[in-house]
Chain A
C-alpha cells in the first residue's frame, strides 16, 4: 500500500527525523490559511500516489497568498497520469544548499533490506543508478538494523563535512527503524537536504507498506486512500479478488496468478488485448465469481469475457455455479467464453449444458474463440 507524502512524513516525524512543518488542504481556502500560519515563500504539493508530480506541474513554489490561491486552485482537481489531485500539502519553502538521497528497499537477491544513499539527491534514483552508479552506496541491513557506525560511514559518503555527517547519520538510523517497524517495502527520502542554515530536512517522503503486514498495523491500514484507487480494484480487494485493470477489450476471470498472467499473454499473442488481470484465488466460492463478473461488466471497454479455470483445489462445478448465479442476478449482454479443465469438469459441463452453454477444454482454443467473439461484438 502506497502512502501519500504527508502520511509518510508523519511516520518520519514520529521517528524523530526532521521534517519541515506542513499541513494538508482539501480546498484553496484551507491552503491559504495554512500558508498564512507557516509563512512565505511556501510550496504547494499535489498529494497523489504516483511519481512525476513535479514534471506534471503538481509542485509549485509561491511567494504570497494570491499566487498560492491561484496555484492551489489549479493543482486541486488536476489529473496527474490518471490520478486526480484531491489534496495538497502546504509547507514552507527551504533554501536548499545540497540534496541527498536515502532509501531502504528489499534486496530480493540477498534477502535483506538494503540502504541506498547517494549525494546525487533530488533526481530519480533509478536514473542515477543507470548513469552514475558509483554515486550510490549500498549497505545491506541485518537483524541489528543500521548500527550507528555504519550510518556514519554512509553519512561520510554523502557529505565530506563532519558537522553535516553528524546530523545525517541519525536520520539514516531512524529511517531504517521506520522501514522495519512499519513493515515497509520502501522508505525513501528524496531529497534529504541541508539548507543554507545547515539544517537537515526530509523534504519528501515515499513510504510503501507491505500489504501482507497490514493486519498487524491497523493504524497504517486506516491510512488507505480509497479515492486514489480504481473503484473496481477497491471492490475486488474487498471481495478477496486480485484485480488489476488494463486497457484492452477482453475481460479475464482466471484461478491463480500465474495462469492469469499467462492468459493475458496468450490473448495478446493471438492478437487480442486483455482488459484486466483477475485471479479469483484458490477457493471455489461462487460469490467470488459473481463479484468478478460484476466488476468486469461494469467496464464499458470489455467486449467479451473469458473464463479460464484449471480445476485443482478450485472445483470447476463451483465456478460454473458461480457463473450461473451471476447470470441469474444480472443482465450480461457481452459474450462469455468458458474454458474448464480439471476437478469436476464433467459436473461443470452438465450444469452449463443445462443452461445452453458449452465450455472448451483447451486454453489456446478458448483464447482464440474469445478474441473472435470480441471482434464480432465490436
Chain B
C-alpha cells in the first residue's frame, strides 16, 4: 500500500472541460490512474477521452463511485468546487488551483472541521503513488515505485528531489505536494502520521520552505511520534524578510518563519537537514542504514511478506524489534484525519 491514493482510487476531475483539466485528465489516464468521471456544470453528457462528464459531483459520484476528486477550476470558482466535493462526501479532494483568496480557505477550513473529507492543497501539484495512481500535474516519468515517502510545500522543487532519489535508486511509496498557500487542507503533521503508519514506507523526505510554522510542528511531532528516518530540506535560506517568494505562504513576517529557525528546529529534533537538495539521497540512505531498514527492504516480498501481520496499522516498532535492531521508543501516533495543533 501507499498512502491516500493507490490502485483502488477512482478519480473524478472537477473542471475537466477546461484547458488544464482536460490536459491533465488525459495525462493521469495515460499514467494508469482510473479516471472515472469529470464534472463541468452544463457539459453533462459529453465525454473527454472516453471519460464521462457530469453536471454535478453528486451525480458523478452516484454513477461512477468516484472516491477521489481533483479540482482544476479557476481560483474564483475553486471554493465552490471544494464545497461541492465535500458535500458529496468524497473522502479525498485534491485542489490544484493556485490563487485562492485566503478568506475562501479560512471558510473552507472551518467547514472541513468535523467532516470526513481530507483536502490536499490548494496551490499544489497533487500526489502520486508511483506505478499505481497519479492525481495531479506532476510529470509521471521522474517517479519510480519504492519505499521513500515524500511530502513538500513545493511543485518543481519536489520534482527535482524525486528525480535525484530516482537516479540514486530510491523509489517512492507516495509523493505529496501539500501546497504553497498559508492555509492548506493537509499539513506536514498529517502526512507524517500517514507515512509512519504505512508499512510500505521506510523513510520520509520533508521539503519545507519559509513562512508559517508547519515545519516546526512537524519537528515536534517527529520527536515524539515518528520512528522512521526523516530527512528535511528547507527552501528560502536567502529570501529577504517581508517579501513573498512566489507562493502566497512563503513569506518571513515579523522575523518569524525563517529557513534558519526551521532548520535549527529539525536538527534539535534529531532530523538531518540537507543543506542542498543533492545531499538528500545520501542522508536518506544513511538514515535507512542506521535503523537497519535496508535489510528489510532487500527481503521484502520474501520471508517478510509471509511473516507480516495482516493489519497494516500494526505498529512498525514491533516488527523492527523482531528484526533485532535498536528501536527508539515512540508514543503511538494519533491517526485522526486532520490533526490540528
**Would A258 and B102 be within 8 Å (CB), given that A212-B75, A312-B138 are in contact?**
no
In the assembled complex, the Cα of A109 lies from the Cα of B152 at a distance in Å of: 18
Chain A, residues 152-194, CB within 8 Å of chain B (1/0): the string is 0000000000000000000000000000100101000000000
Contact A210 B278 (CB under 8 A): no
Question: Could you say which of A261, A279, A310 contacts B210, with CB atoms under 8 Å apart?
Answer: A261
- Tell me which of A142, A259, A311 has the highest count of chain B C-beta atoms within 10 A of its own C-beta: A259
In the assembled complex, the Cα of A364 lies from the Cα of B278 at a distance in Å of: 8
Cβ–Cβ < 8 Å partners of A343 in chain B: 139
In the assembled complex, the Cα of A111 lies from the Cα of B107 at a distance in Å of: 9
**Would A363 and B278 be within 8 Å (CB), given that A111-B110, A143-B107, A262-B160 are in contact?**
yes
Please give the distance in Å from B76's CB to the nearest CB on chain A: 7
Cβ–Cβ < 8 Å partners of A257 in chain B: 154-155, 180, 245-247, 250
Chain A, residues 193-214, CB within 8 Å of chain B (1/0): the string is 0000000000000000011110
Contact B110 A312 (CB under 8 A): no
A295 at the B interface (CB under 8 A): no
In the assembled complex, the Cα of A282 lies from the Cα of B207 at a distance in Å of: 19
Contact A108 B183 (CB under 8 A): yes
Question: Could you say which of A143, A183, A342 contacts B159, with CB atoms under 8 Å apart?
Answer: A342
**Would A106 and B102 be within 8 Å (CB), given that A265-B276, A312-B138, A343-B139 are in contact?**
yes
In the assembled complex, the Cα of A110 lies from the Cα of B133 at a distance in Å of: 32
A77 at the B interface (CB under 8 A): no
B182 at the A interface (CB under 8 A): yes
Count CB-based A-B contacts (< 8 Å). 164
Please give the distance in Å from B9's CB to the nearest CB on chain A: 21
Cβ–Cβ < 8 Å partners of B152 in chain A: 258
B256's nearest neighbour on chain A, judged by CB, is A126
Interface residues in B70-110 (C-beta closer than 8 Å to A):
75-76, 99-103, 105-107, 109-110
Stretch at the interface among B234-242, B281-289, B290-298: B234-242
In the assembled complex, the Cα of A262 lies from the Cα of B278 at a distance in Å of: 11
Please give the distance in Å from A274's CB to the nearest CB on chain B: 6
A185's nearest neighbour on chain B, judged by CB, is B102
Contact B243 A244 (CB under 8 A): yes
Contact A113 B106 (CB under 8 A): yes
A29 at the B interface (CB under 8 A): no
In the assembled complex, the Cα of A261 lies from the Cα of B243 at a distance in Å of: 12
A47 at the B interface (CB under 8 A): no
Question: Could you say which of A126, A260, A262, A264 contacts B254, with CB atoms under 8 Å apart?
Answer: A126
Contact B103 A213 (CB under 8 A): yes
Contact B160 A311 (CB under 8 A): no
Question: Could you say which of A126, A258, A266 contacts B153, with CB atoms under 8 Å apart?
Answer: A258
Contact B99 A258 (CB under 8 A): no
Interface residues in A296-347 (C-beta closer than 8 Å to B):
310-314, 341-343
Question: Could you say which of B105, B139, B209, B240 contacts A312, with CB atoms under 8 Å apart?
Answer: B139
Contact B275 A269 (CB under 8 A): yes
In the assembled complex, the Cα of A328 lies from the Cα of B55 at a distance in Å of: 48
Contact B236 A261 (CB under 8 A): yes
A95 at the B interface (CB under 8 A): no
B341 at the A interface (CB under 8 A): yes
Interface residues in A327-373 (C-beta closer than 8 Å to B):
341-343, 363-364
Cβ–Cβ < 8 Å partners of B142 in chain A: 312, 342
Contact B102 A212 (CB under 8 A): yes
In the assembled complex, the Cα of A274 lies from the Cα of B235 at a distance in Å of: 14
B264 at the A interface (CB under 8 A): no
Cβ–Cβ < 8 Å partners of B249 in chain A: 108
B135 at the A interface (CB under 8 A): no
Question: Could you say which of B105, B207, B239 contacts A264, with CB atoms under 8 Å apart?
Answer: B239
Chain A, residues 272-293, CB within 8 Å of chain B (1/0): the string is 0010010100100000000000
* A contact set with B: CB distance below 8 Å: 106, 108-113, 126, 129, 142-143, 180, 183, 185, 210-213, 215-216, 242, 244, 246, 254-262, 264-269, 274, 277, 279, 282, 310-314, 341-343, 363-364
Give me the 5 closest cross-chain CB pairs, A-B, nearest first. A258-B154, A257-B246, A256-B156, A258-B157, A213-B101
Given contacts A257-B247, A261-B236, A265-B238, 14 further A-B contacts (CB under 8 A): A142-B110, A180-B103, A183-B103, A210-B102, A210-B103, A244-B244, A246-B240, A256-B156, A256-B157, A256-B159, A258-B156, A261-B238, A282-B137, A342-B159
A-B contact pairs, 25 of them (CB 8 A): A106-B102, A106-B106, A108-B182, A108-B183, A108-B212, A108-B213, A109-B213, A111-B106, A111-B109, A212-B75, A213-B102, A242-B246, A254-B156, A256-B154, A256-B157, A257-B154, A260-B246, A261-B157, A261-B238, A262-B276, A265-B238, A268-B237, A269-B276, A282-B137, A312-B137
